[in-house]
Amino acid sequence: MLARDVMVSPVITVKPYSSIKSVADLFWRHRISGAPVLDDKGKIVGMISEGDLVCRSELKTDRAHPYWFLQVAGKETLAREYAKSHAKHVSDVMSTSVITASPDTVLGEIAKLMERHFIKRVPIVDKNQLVGIVTRANLVQALASAPREIDFTLSDFTIRSKLLTELKTQPWADASRLNIIVHDGVVELWGTVSSEAEKQAVRVAAESSPGVCAVQSHLRVVPVELPPMIVPPDIAVR
């Protein structure tokens, strides 16, 4: 699935010279939490979100720092915070580092962009023009609307082979400590794992394998003991 398949279009946008109050009103009326900022030529120049409107002098929510912070932060940081909390126009509070994608970007890449850059929305740009936007909510909607996988039957041998191959490629798994038995599409997991996290991940890998009807986990958590540290004679305690 591509960005063009789930993106919202047309996009609600604001101008750099839009007032902060008008943006707050826009967010409330349209039930949105962020918007791209476009210049008069339609080029995207920034993003503004609810987070940019939280610390405001009008609401007495601008940051109050402890005395020690004022000594170490530096005048530039303090000046930047003051400008943002007292600003009247979008250009003074918007983020100018905008992460965008094209309409043909796969949703997996969109999700990676959101995770990597800690953002909740990605503008979709085609030929330098904003054509849509993909938010986290759109990804959730796409997941909910995705068609179920085609129901097909794989042999127990194939299911076991594919699952073992998957586990062997994962750096967190130790397939040598596992035994997998498959009968009539039911996967039984036996053996030991080093942590509860690994136990959960092995179960999830089995549940998400094609052809699996159910998973029964009998895994035991046995932490791997590290070999004792050998202290060189020259630094050994006497």
**Per residue in 120-168, pLDDT tens?**
999 999 998 999 999 998 998 888 877 655 455 689 899 999 999 999 9
27-to-12, 36, 51, 55 alpha-carbon distances in Å = 9, 12, 12, 16
Contact 189, 203 (CB under 8 A): yes
Residue numbers of the chain with a pLDDT score lower than 50: 150, 235-238
What 3-state DSSP class applies to 179? Answer: strand
Q: Nearest 10 degrees: CA dihedral of 227, 232, 233, 234?
A: -160
Distance CA 227, CA 115 (A): 37
Domains in the chain, CATH or no CATH each: 3-145 (3.10.580.10), 156-221 (3.30.1340.30)
Helix (H, G, I), strand (E, B) or coil at 12: coil
Here the tokens at position 91 are: 């250009």
Q: Are strands 186-193 and 34-38 parallel, antiparallel or unpaired?
A: unpaired
> For position 238, what pLDDT does the model report?
47
CA distance 143 to 134: 13
The pLDDT value given to residue 59: 74
What one-character-per-residue DSSP string does 55-93 give?
A: S-TTTT-S----HHHHHHS-HHHHHHHHHHHH--BGGGT
Asked whether the whole model's pTM tops 0.75, one would answer: no
Residues 64, 67, 69, 72, CA torsion sign:
positive
Residues 6+ apart with CB under 8 A from 190: 178, 179, 180, 181, 218, 219
- DSSP-assigned beta bridge partners for residue 133: 8, 123
The widest CA-to-CA distance across the chain, in whole angstroms, is 77
Residue 14 to residue 23: CA distance in whole angstroms: 7
Which residues, including other chains, have CB under 8 Å from residue 173's CB and lie 6 or more apart? 167, 198, 201, 202, 205
